[in-house]
Amino acid sequence: MPLYKTITVNSATKVLIWKIEESFDTLLKNIELTAKNTGRLNSMKSILHQKGFLSIRHLLALEGFTDYDLYYDTNGKPHLKDGLHISITHSFIFSAIILSDIKVGIDVEKKRDKILRIAHKFTSVKNFDKLSLTSKIRKLTAIWCAKESLYKSFNRVGLSFLNHIHVEEFGLDQNETTAIADFNNKTESYHVRFSEFEDFTCAYALINNKN
């Protein structure tokens, strides 16, 4: 299908989400890749990853960009040649981008009980006792997405989800919070917003302009 959802965050920031229902061949149509990214696509062993990769290029096209406008720095962070900030994510059947004139990050994750087994690796929050199993998974997935969004924007090798990124407490009835990344004498604060659809959670982070 075409565009699944557009979120206009503000006059300079937009989130675009794609639901990947097309075949690989359909997604490949009308998309021209650089030689480097053609190699990346062909080296991917998972058709799911290949389709996610291509769907991102369709989202870019909706905003007037091509694969030739996109490049990655030495840490793997994507950039656009015109200087607009971009962050990219894909998970199973959804992919998304965020575009802004300020530093941003985005993450989409499928809600799965696997998150319960790895929670200790990315959060020290313990006050989940009163939550149902479903609510625990929702909350932990949202925390992971928030931290991943900051990780992508902050873009420093060695940054730890557990030790260097703090997400302020929020309720499951809320769709926003704040978060801080603090590492190697550099601190950035962010406003984080959440969106849930089908069995997925999306978080996107916008840097606080006061930084």
Residue 169 pLDDT more than 70?
Answer: yes
Query: What are the two backbone dihedrals, phi and then psi, of residue 9, each rounded to the nearest 5 degrees?
Result: -75, -45
pLDDT at residue 130, as a whole number: 83
Contacting residues for 173 by C-beta, under 8 A, at least 6 apart: none
For the ranges 73-82, 88-97, 124-133, 193-202, the lowest mean pLDDT is seen at 124-133
pLDDT at 3 > cutoff 60? yes
Which DSSP state fits 31?
A: -
Confidence of residue 64 (pLDDT cuts 50, 70, 90): very high
Residue 173 has pLDDT above 60, yes or no: yes
Q: Where along the chain do its domains lie? A: 3-101, 106-207
Sole residue written with tokens 């969004």: 149
Read off the pLDDT band of 159 (50, 70, 90): very high
Helices (H), the chain: 24-28, 35-43, 47-62, 114-118, 133-154, 161-164
Which band of pLDDT confidence, cut at 50, 70 and 90, is reported for residue 129?
Answer: confident
79-93 pLDDT per residue, tens? 999 999 999 999 999
CB 94 within 8 A of CB 48: no
Q: What is the DSSP letter of 185?
A: T
User: 85-91 and 94-100 as β-strands: parallel, antiparallel, unpaired?
Assistant: antiparallel
CA 81 to chain centre: 20
> How far is 125 from 157, CA to CA, in rounded Å?
24
DSSP string, 105-150: EEEEEE--THHHHHGGGT----TTTTS-HHHHHHHHHHHHHHHHHH
Distance CA 181, CA 151 (A): 8
Q: How confident is the model at residue 209 (pLDDT cuts 50, 70, 90)?
A: confident
Q: Which CATH fold would you assign to the domain 106-207?
A: Ribosomal Protein L22; Chain A (3.90.470)
Q: Which CATH superfamily is domain 3-101 in?
A: 4'-phosphopantetheinyl transferase domain (3.90.470.20)
pLDDT average, residue stretch 183-203? 97
Domains 3-101 and 106-207 share a fold: yes
Q: Is the pTM of this model over 0.85?
A: yes
- pLDDT given at position 127: 73
pLDDT at 210: 62
Mean pLDDT, range 110-119, rounded to an integer:
96
* Residue 169 CB-density burial (10 A; 0-12 exposed, 13-18 middle, 19+ buried): exposed
> If we measure between CA atoms, which residue out of 50, 47, 42, 52 comes closest to residue 20?
52
